[in-house]
Amino acid sequence: MNSKLLTFFLLAMFIFCNGQITIAQVGKTPTLNPQIYNLNEKNIQLASKFMLYEQWTIANIYHIDGFQHVGIPIKYDILENYFKIKTSKGLRYLPGDEVKKFECVNPESGMMETFINSSYFKNNTINTGFLQVLENGYFNLYKSTFIELTKGQRYIKIIDASIYFDDVERKNCYFIATEENLKDLIPSKKGLAKNFEQFNISVTGYIRQEKLKTRNEEDLKKIIRYCNSQAVMAENPN
Protein backbone atom coordinates (compact mmCIF):
# COMPACT_ATOMS: atom_id res chain seq x y z
CA MET A 1 0.00 0.00 0.00
CA ASN A 2 1.19 3.52 -0.80
CA SER A 3 2.85 5.03 2.31
CA LYS A 4 0.77 8.23 2.08
CA LEU A 5 -2.46 6.23 1.83
CA LEU A 6 -1.40 4.11 4.81
CA THR A 7 -0.66 7.22 6.87
CA PHE A 8 -4.05 8.73 5.92
CA PHE A 9 -5.86 5.49 6.82
CA LEU A 10 -4.18 5.23 10.24
CA LEU A 11 -4.87 8.89 10.99
CA ALA A 12 -8.54 8.43 10.03
CA MET A 13 -8.78 5.42 12.36
CA PHE A 14 -7.19 7.47 15.18
CA ILE A 15 -9.75 10.27 14.74
CA PHE A 16 -12.63 7.78 14.48
CA CYS A 17 -11.62 6.10 17.74
CA ASN A 18 -11.80 9.48 19.48
CA GLY A 19 -15.42 10.10 18.46
CA GLN A 20 -18.26 11.15 20.74
CA ILE A 21 -19.57 8.77 23.41
CA THR A 22 -21.79 9.23 26.42
CA ILE A 23 -20.05 9.92 29.73
CA ALA A 24 -22.43 11.68 32.10
CA GLN A 25 -25.97 12.63 32.94
CA VAL A 26 -27.10 15.68 34.89
CA GLY A 27 -30.50 16.04 36.51
CA LYS A 28 -32.73 18.12 38.80
CA THR A 29 -33.59 17.50 42.44
CA PRO A 30 -35.23 15.62 43.96
CA THR A 31 -36.12 13.36 41.00
CA LEU A 32 -32.76 13.90 39.23
CA ASN A 33 -34.16 13.44 35.72
CA PRO A 34 -31.16 12.75 33.45
CA GLN A 35 -29.92 14.92 30.60
CA ILE A 36 -27.15 13.43 28.45
CA TYR A 37 -23.75 15.09 28.13
CA ASN A 38 -21.07 13.87 25.71
CA LEU A 39 -17.27 13.91 26.00
CA ASN A 40 -14.80 12.36 23.59
CA GLU A 41 -12.47 9.51 24.50
CA LYS A 42 -9.43 11.61 25.34
CA ASN A 43 -11.49 13.53 27.90
CA ILE A 44 -12.73 10.29 29.45
CA GLN A 45 -9.10 9.42 30.12
CA LEU A 46 -8.73 12.79 31.83
CA ALA A 47 -12.11 12.68 33.60
CA SER A 48 -10.71 11.42 36.91
CA LYS A 49 -8.59 14.59 37.11
CA PHE A 50 -11.75 16.68 36.91
CA MET A 51 -13.05 15.12 40.11
CA LEU A 52 -12.51 16.58 43.57
CA TYR A 53 -11.33 13.09 44.58
CA GLU A 54 -10.71 10.22 42.19
CA GLN A 55 -12.31 7.77 44.64
CA TRP A 56 -15.94 7.67 45.70
CA THR A 57 -16.55 9.33 49.04
CA ILE A 58 -19.41 9.57 51.54
CA ALA A 59 -21.14 12.95 51.71
CA ASN A 60 -24.01 14.99 53.10
CA ILE A 61 -25.52 17.31 50.49
CA TYR A 62 -27.65 20.31 51.49
CA HIS A 63 -29.84 21.63 48.67
CA ILE A 64 -30.83 25.26 48.24
CA ASP A 65 -34.51 24.25 48.52
CA GLY A 66 -33.91 22.57 51.92
CA PHE A 67 -33.82 19.00 50.60
CA GLN A 68 -30.93 16.87 51.95
CA HIS A 69 -28.99 13.79 50.94
CA VAL A 70 -27.28 12.26 53.99
CA GLY A 71 -24.50 9.65 53.95
CA ILE A 72 -24.49 9.02 50.20
CA PRO A 73 -21.60 8.01 47.88
CA ILE A 74 -20.59 10.83 45.54
CA LYS A 75 -18.00 12.18 43.16
CA TYR A 76 -17.88 15.92 42.45
CA ASP A 77 -16.76 17.19 39.04
CA ILE A 78 -14.89 20.48 39.53
CA LEU A 79 -14.78 21.42 35.85
CA GLU A 80 -18.47 20.88 35.06
CA ASN A 81 -19.76 21.63 38.58
CA TYR A 82 -21.98 18.59 39.10
CA PHE A 83 -22.28 15.65 41.50
CA LYS A 84 -22.30 12.01 40.48
CA ILE A 85 -24.40 10.11 43.05
CA LYS A 86 -24.74 6.36 43.64
CA THR A 87 -28.31 5.33 44.46
CA SER A 88 -30.21 2.05 44.73
CA LYS A 89 -31.61 2.82 41.26
CA GLY A 90 -28.21 3.45 39.70
CA LEU A 91 -26.16 6.59 39.05
CA ARG A 92 -27.81 10.00 39.28
CA TYR A 93 -26.37 13.43 38.49
CA LEU A 94 -26.98 16.69 40.33
CA PRO A 95 -25.97 20.22 39.19
CA GLY A 96 -23.81 22.08 41.70
CA ASP A 97 -25.95 25.21 41.32
CA GLU A 98 -28.72 23.43 43.24
CA VAL A 99 -26.50 22.74 46.27
CA LYS A 100 -25.94 25.22 49.11
CA LYS A 101 -23.12 23.23 50.72
CA PHE A 102 -21.82 19.70 51.09
CA GLU A 103 -19.68 17.77 53.56
CA CYS A 104 -17.62 14.78 52.53
CA VAL A 105 -14.89 12.49 53.80
CA ASN A 106 -11.45 13.03 52.27
CA PRO A 107 -10.53 9.49 51.11
CA GLU A 108 -6.83 10.11 51.81
CA SER A 109 -6.98 11.69 55.27
CA GLY A 110 -10.29 10.24 56.47
CA MET A 111 -11.26 13.73 57.70
CA MET A 112 -14.62 15.38 57.04
CA GLU A 113 -14.35 18.47 54.84
CA THR A 114 -16.93 21.20 54.22
CA PHE A 115 -17.57 23.04 50.95
CA ILE A 116 -19.81 26.11 50.49
CA ASN A 117 -21.34 27.29 47.22
CA SER A 118 -19.40 30.36 46.07
CA SER A 119 -22.66 32.19 45.27
CA TYR A 120 -23.21 32.58 49.05
CA PHE A 121 -20.47 35.21 49.29
CA LYS A 122 -20.50 38.91 48.51
CA ASN A 123 -17.77 40.51 46.36
CA ASN A 124 -17.25 37.10 44.80
CA THR A 125 -14.97 36.87 41.75
CA ILE A 126 -15.64 33.15 41.26
CA ASN A 127 -18.30 32.36 38.67
CA THR A 128 -19.29 28.91 39.86
CA GLY A 129 -18.35 26.02 42.12
CA PHE A 130 -17.53 25.59 45.79
CA LEU A 131 -15.05 26.90 48.35
CA GLN A 132 -13.53 24.51 50.88
CA VAL A 133 -13.62 25.72 54.48
CA LEU A 134 -10.07 25.53 55.89
CA GLU A 135 -10.42 27.66 59.05
CA ASN A 136 -13.40 29.17 60.89
CA GLY A 137 -13.52 32.13 63.29
CA TYR A 138 -13.65 35.91 63.13
CA PHE A 139 -11.53 35.45 59.99
CA ASN A 140 -12.33 32.50 57.74
CA LEU A 141 -9.98 30.85 55.28
CA TYR A 142 -11.32 29.23 52.10
CA LYS A 143 -9.73 27.36 49.23
CA SER A 144 -10.95 27.20 45.64
CA THR A 145 -9.67 24.36 43.47
CA PHE A 146 -10.11 24.90 39.75
CA ILE A 147 -9.20 23.13 36.52
CA GLU A 148 -7.19 24.56 33.65
CA LEU A 149 -7.14 22.76 30.31
CA THR A 150 -3.68 23.11 28.81
CA LYS A 151 -2.57 22.20 25.32
CA GLY A 152 0.41 20.17 24.25
CA GLN A 153 1.50 17.81 21.53
CA ARG A 154 2.59 14.20 21.34
CA TYR A 155 4.48 12.39 18.59
CA ILE A 156 2.62 9.28 17.32
CA LYS A 157 5.21 6.97 15.79
CA ILE A 158 2.79 4.75 13.88
CA ILE A 159 1.50 7.65 11.77
CA ASP A 160 4.75 9.68 11.85
CA ALA A 161 2.95 12.81 13.03
CA SER A 162 2.42 15.01 16.08
CA ILE A 163 -1.10 15.04 17.53
CA TYR A 164 -2.30 17.97 19.63
CA PHE A 165 -4.19 17.15 22.81
CA ASP A 166 -5.66 18.74 25.92
CA ASP A 167 -4.20 18.12 29.36
CA VAL A 168 -5.46 19.03 32.81
CA GLU A 169 -3.84 21.14 35.52
CA ARG A 170 -5.36 21.56 38.99
CA LYS A 171 -4.72 24.86 40.77
CA ASN A 172 -5.67 26.31 44.14
CA CYS A 173 -6.35 29.87 45.20
CA TYR A 174 -7.22 31.12 48.69
CA PHE A 175 -9.68 33.62 50.12
CA ILE A 176 -10.21 35.37 53.45
CA ALA A 177 -13.71 36.23 54.60
CA THR A 178 -15.42 37.93 57.50
CA GLU A 179 -19.02 36.70 57.54
CA GLU A 180 -20.17 36.87 53.88
CA ASN A 181 -17.53 39.33 52.62
CA LEU A 182 -14.99 37.45 50.53
CA LYS A 183 -11.55 38.88 49.71
CA ASP A 184 -8.86 37.52 47.41
CA LEU A 185 -5.81 36.48 49.38
CA ILE A 186 -2.77 38.38 48.09
CA PRO A 187 0.16 35.92 48.30
CA SER A 188 2.70 38.26 49.91
CA LYS A 189 3.44 39.12 53.56
CA LYS A 190 2.48 42.78 53.16
CA GLY A 191 -0.52 42.06 50.95
CA LEU A 192 -1.81 39.34 53.26
CA ALA A 193 -1.52 41.45 56.40
CA LYS A 194 -3.78 44.14 54.90
CA ASN A 195 -6.72 41.73 55.20
CA PHE A 196 -6.55 41.68 59.00
CA GLU A 197 -7.59 45.23 59.80
CA GLN A 198 -6.22 46.38 63.18
CA PHE A 199 -4.10 43.22 63.51
CA ASN A 200 -1.99 43.79 60.39
CA ILE A 201 1.15 44.92 62.28
CA SER A 202 1.13 42.01 64.73
CA VAL A 203 0.35 39.57 61.89
CA THR A 204 3.34 40.78 59.88
CA GLY A 205 5.57 40.31 62.95
CA TYR A 206 4.16 36.80 63.53
CA ILE A 207 4.81 35.77 59.92
CA ARG A 208 8.43 36.96 60.13
CA GLN A 209 9.04 35.46 63.56
CA GLU A 210 7.71 32.02 62.59
CA LYS A 211 9.22 32.21 59.08
CA LEU A 212 5.89 31.35 57.49
CA LYS A 213 5.29 31.22 53.76
CA THR A 214 2.10 32.88 52.56
CA ARG A 215 1.84 30.54 49.57
CA ASN A 216 1.84 27.43 51.77
CA GLU A 217 -1.58 26.13 52.83
CA GLU A 218 -0.53 24.85 56.27
CA ASP A 219 1.23 28.15 57.01
CA LEU A 220 -1.86 30.08 55.93
CA LYS A 221 -3.90 28.06 58.43
CA LYS A 222 -1.43 29.00 61.19
CA ILE A 223 -1.72 32.68 60.26
CA ILE A 224 -5.53 32.58 60.35
CA ARG A 225 -5.51 30.79 63.73
CA TYR A 226 -3.16 33.45 65.10
CA CYS A 227 -5.38 36.27 63.78
CA ASN A 228 -8.46 34.66 65.29
CA SER A 229 -6.71 34.35 68.65
CA GLN A 230 -5.82 38.05 68.45
CA ALA A 231 -9.43 38.89 67.67
CA VAL A 232 -10.67 36.87 70.68
CA MET A 233 -8.18 38.61 73.01
CA ALA A 234 -9.24 42.02 71.67
CA GLU A 235 -12.87 41.24 72.47
CA ASN A 236 -12.01 39.81 75.91
CA PRO A 237 -9.03 41.85 77.17
CA ASN A 238 -9.39 40.50 80.69
User: What is the DSSP pairing of strand 90-95 with strand 57-63?
Assistant: unpaired
Question: In the chain, which residue ranges form alpha helices assigned H by DSSP?
Answer: 3-17, 41-50, 189-193, 200-210, 217-235
Does position 162 have pLDDT exceeding 60, yes or no?
A: no
Does position 99 have pLDDT exceeding 60, yes or no?
A: yes
Q: What is the mean pLDDT of the chain?
A: 74
Compute the average pLDDT of residues 180-193.
67
Residue 108 CA to its chain's centroid (Å):
16
**Can you tell me whether residue 4 is helix, strand or coil?**
helix
Between CA 26 and CA 72 the distance in angstroms is 17
Tens digit of each residue's pLDDT (9 = 90 or more) over 113-139: 999 999 888 766 666 799 999 999 888
Environment class of 207 (CB within 10 Å of its CB; exposed 0-12, middle 13-18, buried 19+): buried
Give residue 131's pLDDT: 93
Residue 159, phi-psi category: left (phi > 0), alpha (psi -120 to 50), beta (remainder): alpha
- CA-nearest of 186, 217, 218 to 204 is 186
Does position 150 have pLDDT exceeding 80, yes or no?
A: no
Between CA 181 and CA 140 the distance in angstroms is 10
Compute the average pLDDT of residues 217-222.
93
Query: What interhelical angle do 200-210 and 217-235 show, nearest 10?
Result: 140
Give the model's confidence band at 168: pLDDT under 50 very low, under 70 low, under 90 confident, else very high: confident
Taking the whole predicted model, whether its pTM rises above 0.85 is answered as no
Does position 74 have pLDDT exceeding 90, yes or no?
A: yes
Domain extents for the chain? Answer: 3-185, 186-238
